[in-house]
Amino acid sequence: MSDILRFATAGSVDDGKSTLIGRLLYDSKSIFEDQYEAVERASAGNDYVNLALLTDGLRAEREQGITIDVAYRYFATPRRTFIIADTPGHIQYTRNMVTGASTADLAIVLVDARKGILEQSRRHAFLVSLLRVPHLVVAVNKMDLVDWSQEVFEEIHEEFTAFATKLEVPDLTIIPISALEGDNIVHRSTNMPWYDGPSLLHHLEHVHIASDRNLVDARFPVQYVIRPQSREFPDYRGYAGTIASGVFKPGDEVQVLPSGFTSRIASIDTADGPVAEAFAPMAVTIRLEDEIDISRGDMLCRPHNAPHATQDVDAMVCWMTDEPLRAGQKLAIKHTTRSARAMVKELQYRLDVNSLHRDVTVDALGLNDIGRVRLRTTVPLFADPYARNRTTGGFILIDEATNRTVGAGMVHPSE
C-alpha cells in the first residue's frame, strides 16, 4: 500500500535547497518534459541546467533569485508519495520553517560541507525539534567541493551528533550528498565509496512513520453536527470530525467535554458505510447512544484519559508579524475546532534560537521570535502537551482587527 510522507526542507540561502529539490524531482523522473524544457530555456548560458528554477515559480522570485514563501511540491515513487514543504531559507526563516514543519513527518536540514555546522544549521535543527518533527535528516551538501572528503564529512557528523543530544530528535540520519552532481540523492554515489548508508531518496522511501502518530489518547474534536432532517434520515444526529489521535470503536464509552457527560458510541459512520474502528486522521461521523447537547468545539475522549481542560494556557509561541506581541494584548485563538479569545497574561521569556538562552528581560516578541507566554482564554481549551500530541497541542493566534494569522503556539505543561 502506497502511503504519503510529508517532509520540509531547510537550509540557508545558498546551501542548494532548490537544487536539491530539483534534483530529487529530476532523478526520480517526476519532472515533466515541458517543465524541464522551460527550465532549460531559462538557464541558457549557464554551465548547468538550473534545477532551482523548477521550484522558484513566482515573478518576483525569478527576478530576485529568492524563494518568497512556502511552496508545496509533489512527487512519487512506486513505494511512496511525497509532499515537500519547500521553505525558504531567507529572512523570514523562522515563521516559514514553523509553517512547513507543522505538518511534516520528516525534515531535511542542508549543511554546506565547506562551511560546516553554522548557527543557521543549529537554529533549523532546533526548530525541527521544537515542532516535534519525528525524523531529521542532515544532508551535508556540496561534497564535490571538498573533494568528496570522508574526513570533512565525519567532522560534521560528529559535531552535529553532539549538538543533537541537546535536542529532542528521536531519529537522526546524516547523509553526504552533492545536489548539483546528483550524488547520493537518488543513486548511491561512486565518488564516496567510504559511505555505506542509504541515498537520500532510499531513506525517504523507507523511513518508518506509521508509529509516529499518537494512537493512545482518543481525541475527537467535534467539527460539525450533521442533522439531515430528511424523510430517509429523520432522526439522524451525528458528530462529524477528524480523529486527532487514538482509536475509537462502536461500543466505546466516551466522555463529552466540556459537559462531562458520558455515553457510548452507537456507530461510526462514513458515506461508504459504518466502520469497525476509526483512528487518526480519519474523517468520520460519530453517533452516540444518548441524546446529549454537543456542538462544534466540544471534544469526545475516553473517561479515564481526558485532555487538560483549562483557561490558563502555557505555550511556546512563534510570532509571525511585524507588530510585536506584548503582555496585555488580546487575540483570537483557534485550537482544534474551538475558537475563543485570549489575553496574553505574561511574557515569560524570549528564546534565543541560536544559543537556546532564555532572555527573561524582554517585554515583547518581534517578528520571527519564539517565546514562552501564558494566555488566559475566554473558554476552556481541551489541550494536551504538544510534545505528546501535535494536533491537540497546537493552536494559532489571529489578530482580531486585521484577521491575519499572527502566531503559532505549542502547549507546554505548566512548570
Partner 1 sequence: MTVPGSAHDYRLSQLQSLEAESIHIFREVVAELERPVLLFSGGKDSIVMLRLAEKAFWPARIPFPVMHVDTGLNFPEVLEFRDRRAQELGVQLLVASVPDAIERGTVREEPNGSRNRIQTPVLLEAVEKHRFTALFGGARRDEEKARAKERVFSFRDDFGQWDPKNQRPELWNLYNGRIHLGESIRVFPLSNWTELDIWSYIAAEQIDIPALYLAHEREVVERDGMLYAVNEFVVPREGETVTTERVRYRTMGDANLTAAVRSDADTLDKVVAEVATTRLTERGATRGDDRVSEAAMEDRKREGYF
Footprint of partner 1 on 157-216 (CB under 8 A): 210, 213, 215
Query: Binder to partner 1 among 49, 73, 145, 250 (CB under 8 A)?
Result: 73
Query: Binder to partner 1 among 48, 74, 114, 251 (CB under 8 A)?
Result: 74
Query: Binder to partner 1 among 240, 292, 309, 364 (CB under 8 A)?
Result: 240
- Quick one: 101 or 156, whose CB is closer to partner 1? 101
Counting contacts by CB under 8 A, is residue 228 touching partner 1?
yes
Counting contacts by CB under 8 A, is residue 65 touching partner 1?
no
Q: Smallest gap, in angstroms, from Cβ of residue 247 to partner 1?
A: 7
Query: Binder to partner 1 among 66, 226, 306, 364 (CB under 8 A)?
Result: 226
**C-alpha span between 325 and 80 (Å, rounded):** 41
Counting contacts by CB under 8 A, is residue 69 touching partner 1?
yes
**Stretch touching partner 1 by CB under 8 A, among 112-120, 143-151, 281-289, 373-381:** 281-289
- Quick one: 131 or 351, whose CB is closer to partner 1? 131
User: With helix as H, strand as E and coil as C, how does the chain read?
Assistant: CCEEEEEEEECCCCCCHHHHHHHHHHHCCCCCHHHHHHHHHHCCCCCCCCHHHHCCCCHHHHHHCCCCCCEEEEEECCCEEEEEEECCCCCCHHHHHHHHHCCCCEEEEEEECCCCCCHHHHHHHHHHHHCCCCEEEEEEECHHHHCCCHHHHHHHHHHHHHHHCCCCCCEEEEEECECCCCECCCECCCCCCCCCCCCHHHHHHHCCCHHHCCCCCCEEECCEEECCCCCCCCCCCEEEEECCECEECCCCEEEEECCCCEEEEEEEECCCCCCCCEECCCEEEEEECCCCCCCCCCEEEECCECCEEEEEEEEEEEECCCCCECCCCEEEEEECCEEEEEEEEEEEEEECCCCCCEECCCCCECCCCEEEEEEEEEEEEEECCCCCCCCCCEEEEECCCCCCEEEEEEECCCC
Counting contacts by CB under 8 A, is residue 71 touching partner 1?
yes
**Stretch touching partner 1 by CB under 8 A, among 10-18, 51-59, 158-166, 177-185:** 51-59
Counting contacts by CB under 8 A, is residue 405 touching partner 1?
yes
Q: How far apart are the first and last CA of the chain?
A: 43
Counting contacts by CB under 8 A, is residue 276 touching partner 1?
yes
Q: Smallest gap, in angstroms, from Cβ of residue 16 to partner 1?
A: 19
In the region spanning residues 89 to 118, those forming contacts with partner 1, defined by CB under 8 A, are 95-96, 98-99, 102-103
Q: Smallest gap, in angstroms, from Cβ of residue 320 to partner 1?
A: 5
**C-alpha span between 386 and 185 (Å, rounded):** 33
User: With helix as H, strand as E and coil as C, how does 222-240 read?
Assistant: CCEEECCCCCCCCCCCEEE
In the region spanning residues 140 to 159, those forming contacts with partner 1, defined by CB under 8 A, are none
**C-alpha span between 153 and 160 (Å, rounded):** 11
**Stretch touching partner 1 by CB under 8 A, among 184-192, 200-208, 366-374, 401-409:** 401-409
Q: Smallest gap, in angstroms, from Cβ of residue 213 to partner 1?
A: 7
- Quick one: 99 or 199, whose CB is closer to partner 1? 99
Counting contacts by CB under 8 A, is residue 408 touching partner 1?
yes
In the region spanning residues 283 to 302, those forming contacts with partner 1, defined by CB under 8 A, are 283, 285, 296
In the region spanning residues 1 to 40, those forming contacts with partner 1, defined by CB under 8 A, are 1-4, 32-35, 38
- Quick one: 34 or 47, whose CB is closer to partner 1? 34
Query: Binder to partner 1 among 231, 235, 273, 322 (CB under 8 A)?
Result: 273
Angle CA 248–82–108, to nearest 5? 105
Query: Binder to partner 1 among 197, 281, 303, 413 (CB under 8 A)?
Result: 281
In the region spanning residues 328 to 367, those forming contacts with partner 1, defined by CB under 8 A, are 332, 334-335, 337
Counting contacts by CB under 8 A, is residue 387 touching partner 1?
no
**Stretch touching partner 1 by CB under 8 A, among 180-188, 303-311, 342-350, 403-411:** 403-411
